[in-house]
Structure formats: C-alpha cells, structure tokens
Structure 1
Amino acid sequence: MCAKVLVVEDEEAISHLLAYNLEKEGFSVATCADGDDALTAVDEEKPDLVLMDWMLPNVSGVELCRRMRMGAETREIPVILLTARGEEEDRVRGLDVGADDYVTKPFSMSELVARVRAVLRRTAPALAGDVASFADLVLDRQNCRVRRGKRDVHLGPTEFRLLDVLLQRPGRVYSREQLLDRVWGQDVYVEIRTVDVHIGRLRKALNRGGDRDPIRTVRATGYALDETYAG
C-alpha cells in the first residue's frame, strides 16, 4: 500500500507539479488549496503525511499544523512545511508548532521527495518501502506475498490490504471506521461488521499451526497488531 500524501498549496501550478512528481514516485496524492479545505481533507482523507505551504488563504499552514497537533486523530500525522521564508526565526516557529520538517522555496523535486521519504521512515517506516515486517510477519507489497516465520501465508486481496494497514503502525489501534476507509475506500458503502468478518479470515490464515495471534481486539473500538500477542 502506497503512502497517501495531502498537498495543501494555493498556487495551482505548484500544486500540480507536486502532485505529478509525488505520484510518479509511487505516492497516492490528494490536493486542496486553502486551510479550511485542508482541515476537512485531513479528516476525510486521513493522509499519511501532509505537505503544506506556510502562506495559505483562510488558515495559515502554521495554524493548520497547530490545530492538527491538538486533535486526537490528527496529532500523529507528519507535516512538512513549504515556504519562501528562510529566516531561522521562521523555521523555529514552524518546528515549534509541530512540523516534522521544513523546506524553503525554491527547492528541487528530488530533494523534496527525499525529505518526504525521510519523514515517513521516522514516523511510519512500513510505508517507506516495499517490505513491511512485524515480529515474525513479513509482507512484500511488490510481490503480494506474506510470510510468517518460514511459512507462506495465503491471503485474499482484502485480507492483504488489512494486514498492510495494521503493519504500518504496530501497536496503534485502528477503529473499524478507519479500516473501512483505508481498505475499502470512502466512496464504497460497506457494513461495519464486514471488518470483523475479514479480520476473522486474516486471523485464521495467520494463526495456523498453533501460532500466537498477533492481532489484538480492542473492545468497542477496533484492532491493532500487538507485540505481546505476536509469536
């Protein structure tokens, strides 16, 4: 599963350039042009990283970053600020409100992509490459293969995507609604209980042969991969 990047940039030419180059590098990209729309998009798109301009209409990038850090669902989403401001005081201010990195215009696309990958390696390492692992589980995105220890695990497409999401942040509890959005998409109507059915299938495939269950059920909330459960 590729990382989802939200680009918040009011200059249309720059927004298109960023989206084109990030998609070419394998990222999934959504865009918006002002701070108010960005607040909505963060909630709806649930991006893995936000790349935003400092100077935005309505709500500035710095203020948007501050508000994200105050929200329970958004405080962990990494943020890279883009700006023409190059003074040390401005950089410090951006980092003080919770930005993970700071890129000054003009910049090269290769540098920007490298910064995006570097931030993802720190915040969501499972999204930064083709292989994700946890305990004795290994998921190969490029070849669509899963192994547990020395055993191949055969999964259907939905179970593969579910495991991929859980592997991105082991220990994090994903609600059923979040799993629906990330695995099935926001434009598809699926009953909430469908998540439980596919988690059951995923468990059955992972736990053959007496292996310990790596998936923790959090009552009335959702699911997580948990070190204490893994074999």
Structure 2
Amino acid sequence: MENSARIYILEDEKSVNELINYALSNINLNVFSFYNSKELFKALNEQKCDILVLDIMLPNQDGFSVLKELKENANTKDIEVILLSALDSEFNKVKGLDLGASDYITKPFSMLEFIARIKGILRRINKDDVLVFKNLHIDFKTRQVMLHNEDIKLTLKEFELLALLIKNPKKCFSKEELLDCIWKENFKTRTIDIHINTLRAKLKDYAKYIKTIHCVGYRFDLNA
C-alpha cells in the first residue's frame, strides 16, 4: 500500500473520529481529522486528499451537501468519498452513491471491514490505465469517458457498471452479481435496470454493445 496516501476524516463525534484516525494511522496512512465542514474546506484549499471519510449527520452542513459541493468543484471532484451514517435506508444509500460517493458504510461497522474497503479504494486509484474501444476512451483513474471526442458525463455507479462490463466482455453478469460487485448492499435488482438504461442513453450509438441476456443479466458484446 502507498504510505503517501492522504486521508481526511470529517466526523463530529470525537470518539468515532479518533478511532478511525488511530486505525488508519496504524497502517501507515497520512490521516487528518476535522469536525466541521469549514475546517475541511480550508484544508482542501491548501492540499487535496486521496480519500475523504465523511459522516452524513453533521452540524451546520450535512454530509450530502458537503459531497455535492466537492463533486461540483473541478479541483475536488476526483476525491474518493466514503460516507458514514446511522441512516441505513435504501433511499439514503442511493442518494449518497448517486451524488458520487465511492462507498456507503452504516454505523456501527467493523473496523476490519472498514480498513479493507479503504485498501480496496487505494488499490483502485493507484492504477493508471486507459482503455480504448473504437471511439470510446475510458480513463479508469480520472473516470473520464470520451465518445467520438465528446466528454460523456456518467455518475459514479454508471461508470463502475461500464468499467466492470467492458473489462469482462466475455462474461454475462447476473443482476445479483452486479449488485454485489458495485453496490455491495441489499438493493433491489431494478436498481441495475435503471442504471443500465441511463448508461445506454448516454452512450448513444454505443448502447448496442451492452447486451441484455434474457432471464440472466447483462454483458458487453465487442462484436455487436
């Protein structure tokens, strides 16, 4: 693991903040704690982080609005954000993920699982690879998708769906597999159908490469 990784924590509950800081510091990460959004944005103006651990229920400015502000700013939109919350409803999870969060962890949580998810994100962001398929260019580090030299704006989950399918063109993924790989939560399979439909709409003439396999799921067909 890269020990140069920089992690920010925005959590107003002191005991939780300190516990996360201690656990991540013990695996040689550079960890910095904040207790309100004003402190966080001041620090981000001075130096960006690689990952932000963000509580949703905060004083003054809630985590959803902090996340939205980060993703609308060109300088901070690529920061990986893990949302923490005692709110475990599907609505809140979908909202956070669609706003651009990389993960959503419900309190209370296992610290070992939390560290594993941090390590998984670090492995992903340390890969600098680009995939080119005809006129479709995908940068997996910046999450930029270009089609016919046009920038295609995908949500985080749309991008992860496309990335998983195009990296495994011979595999047909069931809806349950896609939920497990990308959402890692107990969402309904209609969530997959909705995101596939919006992804296809954005890919325009390249939508034909995402094939529906009747009664099974979806795959990316290079020969469509």
Normalization by structure 2: what TM-score? 0.54
SS at match of 1:73: coil
1:77-226 equivalence runs, <5 A = 77-122=79-124, 124-125=125-126
Letter in 1 for 2:30: S
- For residues 31 and 99 of structure 1, the distance between their equivalents in structure 2, rounded to whole angstroms, comes to 19
Shift of residue 35 of structure 1?
Answer: 1.7
Identify the residue that residue 69 of structure 2 maps to in structure 1.
67
Shift of residue 38 of structure 1?
Answer: 1.6
SS at match of 1:31: strand
Letter in 2 for 1:74: T
- For residues 80 and 64 of structure 2, the distance between their equivalents in structure 1, rounded to whole angstroms, comes to 13
Structure 2 residue ranges without an equivalent (≥5): 130-140, 143-224
Shift of residue 28 of structure 1?
Answer: 0.6
Identify the residue that residue 29 of structure 2 maps to in structure 1.
27
- For residues 112 and 24 of structure 1, the distance between their equivalents in structure 2, rounded to whole angstroms, comes to 13
Normalization by structure 1: what TM-score? 0.53
Shift of residue 41 of structure 1?
Answer: 2.0
- For residues 73 and 16 of structure 1, the distance between their equivalents in structure 2, rounded to whole angstroms, comes to 27
- For residues 24 and 95 of structure 1, the distance between their equivalents in structure 2, rounded to whole angstroms, comes to 28
- For residues 45 and 113 of structure 1, the distance between their equivalents in structure 2, rounded to whole angstroms, comes to 23
Q: Moved runs in structure 1, 4+ residues, more than 3 A?
A: none
- For residues 6 and 108 of structure 1, the distance between their equivalents in structure 2, rounded to whole angstroms, comes to 19
- For residues 44 and 50 of structure 1, the distance between their equivalents in structure 2, rounded to whole angstroms, comes to 15
Paired-residue identity, %: 36
Shift of residue 42 of structure 1?
Answer: 2.1
Identify the residue that residue 11 of structure 1 maps to in structure 2.
13
SS at match of 1:114: helix
SS at match of 1:7: strand
Identify the residue that residue 142 of structure 1 maps to in structure 2.
none
- For residues 113 and 46 of structure 2, the distance between their equivalents in structure 1, rounded to whole angstroms, comes to 28
1:1-39 deviation line (CA, Å, top 9, x unaligned)? 421100101011111111000000111101100122222
RMSD of equivalent CA atoms: 2.0
SS at match of 2:100: coil
Shift of residue 53 of structure 1?
Answer: 0.4
The answer to whether the 8 A contact 1:39-1:64 is kept is: no
- For residues 63 and 46 of structure 2, the distance between their equivalents in structure 1, rounded to whole angstroms, comes to 18
